Amino acid sequence: MQHNVLKYSLLTFLLFALIAVRMYEAEIFYDPLLDYFKNSNHTNLPSMNLTDLYINVFLRFMINLLLSVLIVKVLFNEKAYVKFTIIVGILGFVILLPLYAYMLNHNLNFGEMIFFYVRRFLIQPMFLIILIPCFYYQEIRNKKATQV
């Protein structure tokens, strides 16, 4: 009983931390693209310091990844799931950041919506949203396999 209270309290705290990162993104991180995507008439990209932008995207991604890994640890307490979350996060970052930088340096030649979603994966905990149902499904399959 006490273990569950601690688990759900910690999980609630971690979820609120993710929410806080999102709520205070404009105050915490340098991201001139926040207003760009909130505005409905996307004409020209705003002027920006790309070095500061990349550093802040990196910091935000790492904070979200750390919180995501902790959430997976608390929810499942499986070392393999934690390792997989870290690997997916790092691989995602290694693939997406250069793509993000390329698109930004070439004025979104791939298309604005593709850029929007690449950016979303970098600044939101999207991997967590994808991995949690996968891990739950794996848990269900493991339980069924042991019952047979």
Tokens (6 digits) for 39: 């505005």
- pLDDT value for 40: 66
pLDDT, mean of residues 92-111: 89
| Alpha-carbon span 89 to 66, nearest angstrom | 10
- pLDDT value for 118: 94
- pLDDT value for 2: 81
Q: Which of 86, 35, 25 is nearest to 56 (CA)?
A: 25
pTM for this model (two decimals): 0.91
Question: At 106, is the pLDDT very low, low, confident or very high (cuts 50, 70, 90)?
Answer: confident
Residue 107 has pLDDT above 90, yes or no: no
Residue 147 has pLDDT above 90, yes or no: no
Q: Which of 124, 127, 99, 100 is nearest to 45 (CA)?
A: 100
- pLDDT value for 37: 83
Tokens (6 digits) for 86: 């870290």
Q: Which of 27, 97, 32 is nearest to 65 (CA)?
A: 97
What pLDDT, in 10s, does the model give residues 29-82? Answer: 999 998 888 876 766 788 899 999 999 999 999 999 999 999 999 999 999 999
- pLDDT value for 75: 95
**Could you tell me which residues come within 8 angstroms of residue 77 by beta carbon, excluding any fewer than 6 positions away?**
none
CB 70 within 8 A of CB 130: no
On the CB side of 35, CA atoms within 13 Å amount to 11
Tokens (6 digits) for 40: 């409905």
| Alpha-carbon span 94 to 131, nearest angstrom | 18
What pLDDT, in 10s, does the model give residues 108-130? Answer: 767 788 999 999 999 999 999 99
